[in-house]
A and B are shown apart, each in its own frame.
Chain A
Amino acid sequence: MSDLAIECRQLVKRYGDLVAVNHLDLEVARGECFGLLGPNGAGKTTTVEILEGLTKPDGGQVLLLGQTWKRRGARKLRARIGVALQETRLPEKLTVLEVVRLFRSFYPDGRSPDEVIEILDLVEKREARVGNLSGGQRQRLALASALVGNPDLLFLDEPTTGLDPQARLSIWGVIETFRKGGGTILLTTHYMDEAHRLCDRIAILDRGQGIALDTPDALIDSLGADQIIEFPTNGFDPDSMRNLPGVVGIKQRGGSTRLRVKHLGQALPALLKHAADHGVVLESLATHRATLEDVYVHLTGRGLRDG
Chain B
Amino acid sequence: MARRGRGKPTHPLYELTLARLLEFWRSPGSVFWVFIFPVVLAVALGIAFRHKGADSIRIAMVGGDAALTQTLSKIPDFEFLELTEQEALDRLHRGRLDALIDAGPDLFTLHFDPTRPDGDAIRLRLSDALQRSLGREDVATISEEHVTSGGGRYIDFLIPGLIGMNMMSSCMWGIGYAVVDQRKRKLLRRFAATPMNRAHYLLGFMFSRMLFLVLEVGLLLIFGYYVFDIQVQGSILAVWGFAIMGALTFSGMSVLIASRTENTEVASGWMNFAMMPMWLLSGTFFDYHRFPEVVHPFIRALPLTAVNDSLRGLINHGESITSLGLEAAVLALWGTIAFFLALRFFRWQ
Contacts and interface: CB of A to CB of B under 8 A. Distances in A.
A37 interface: no
B11, B186, B193: residue with the most chain A Cβ atoms closer than 10 Å: B193
Interface string A9-51: 0000000000000000000000000000000000000000000
Interface string A213-246: 0000000000000000000000000000000000
Interface in B212-245: none
A87 B4 contact: no
Contacts of A81: 193
A112 B6 CA distance: 6
A97 B5 contact: yes
Nearest to B20: A91
A114 to B, nearest CB: 4
Interface string B13-25: 0111011001100
B349 interface: yes
A78 B194 contact: yes
Interface in B187-208: 187, 189-197
A101 B12 CA distance: 9
Nearest to A83: B193
A75 B195 contact: yes
B4 A85 contact: no
Contacts of B7: 112
Contacts of B194: 78, 83, 103, 106-107, 149
Given A94-B22, A110-B9, A126-B5, A101 B189 contact: no
Contacts of B26: 93, 129
A190 interface: no
Given A79-B195, A83-B193, A93-B22, A54 B349 contact: yes
A91 B18 CA distance: 13
Interface residues of B, number: 32
Contacts of A107: 9, 194-195
A85 B22 contact: no
A54 B9 contact: no
Contacts of A85: 186, 189-190, 193
Nearest to A109: B9
A54 to B, nearest CB: 6
B5 A83 contact: no
Contacts of B182: 91
Contacts of B5: 97, 100-101, 112-114, 117, 126
A189 B19 CA distance: 32
Given A54-B189, A105-B12, A114-B5, A94 B195 contact: no
Contacts of B190: 83, 85, 88, 90, 145
Nearest to A145: B190
B255 to A, nearest CB: 19
Nearest to A118: B5
A94 B19 contact: yes
Interface in B153-189: 182, 185-187, 189
Given A54-B189, A85-B186, A126-B5, A102 B195 contact: no
A115 B65 CA distance: 98
22 contacts: A78-B194, A83-B194, A85-B189, A89-B187, A90-B185, A90-B187, A90-B190, A93-B22, A93-B26, A93-B27, A97-B4, A97-B5, A98-B19, A98-B22, A100-B5, A105-B16, A106-B195, A112-B6, A113-B5, A114-B6, A126-B5, A145-B190
Interface of A: 52-55, 75-76, 78-79, 81, 83, 85, 87-91, 93-94, 97-98, 100-108, 110, 112-114, 117, 126, 129, 145, 149
